[in-house]
Amino acid sequence: MQAAHAIAFESLGHTDLEWCAPLPPGQPDGWFAALETRPPRTVVDLGCGTGAFIRAWCAGNRGWTIGIDHSEQCIDTARQRSGGVGQWQVADAAQWARTHRNASDLTVCIGVEDLGGDWRSMLTLVDHVSRRGKWALIGVTVRDDSQPWAFIPELANHIPTEGALLNDVARMGWRIQCDDTASPALWQQHDAGWRQSIAMWLANNPDHPNAASFSERLRRGRQLFDALGPDALRFKTILARV
């Protein structure tokens, strides 16, 4: 499980964003079109952020929904934006998933690759929550397979290649219905917005106990991704029958 200060850092930039990940073009409409072939009656969003998926889904008055996130700020924002639609819970999404087997007709986990510790654990937890024959929707940052990653093995293990992700999905027996990828440019644009939100928080909270460490994490992270190059990362979404 992540340390509390790490969770706080990652949540800071999300509260100002509609989606907590860069969506591929044509989404979420493409997901909804596929889901209409067998509409889910229960929807669980693990790591829901500010609740964009559930709000978009509920625009068609579709079934029962719950969004779960560890960030009280994100859940407060989700409630404010939802207009009373959906249920929202401040909780550890990984722990919730472990204790709710076969709870969902559609389990959503977009941009939460480290749910449970890493992206493979995330796949396992989503599979655990999802009812057989129903749906899973995941979104994961994927990387290229260039040589610079060999010098940062910890990060290379944390971020899968597209091939590794697809192989694990196939190994779990999921049947892919939609498979889309946001370009590196969209990933960079989203990342810039996320970092700007953290920078604004730091400017407004210079005396916060975590301000110095958060500022250093922001600087080092930007330095690392600048070194990898603008095309190193993209964002992949997969809608599958489980």
Residue ranges covered by each domain of the chain: 4-241
Give the CATH superfamily of 4-241: Vaccinia Virus protein VP39 (3.40.50.150)
Which of 127, 126, 129, 124 minimizes the C-alpha distance to 103? 129
Establish how many alpha carbons lie within 13 A of residue 103's alpha carbon, considering only the half-sphere containing its beta carbon.
19
How large is the angle between the packed helices 211-228 and 4-12, nearest 10 degrees?
70
Phi, psi of 24 (to 5 degrees): -65, 160
Task: Say if pTM beats, i.e. exceeds, 0.85.
Answer: yes
pLDDT at 1: 42
pLDDT at 7: 64
Strands, E assignment, the chain: 42-46, 64-69, 87-90, 104-110, 130-143, 175-182, 233-241
Which of 150, 148, 63 minimizes the C-alpha distance to 108? 63
Q: Is 41 within 8 Å of 105 (Cβ atoms)?
A: yes
Instruction: Please give the biggest Cα pair distance in the chain.
Output: 53
Low-confidence ranges of the chain (pLDDT < 70): 1-7, 61, 147
- Burial class, 242, CB count within 10 angstroms (exposed 0-12 / middle 13-18 / buried 19+): buried
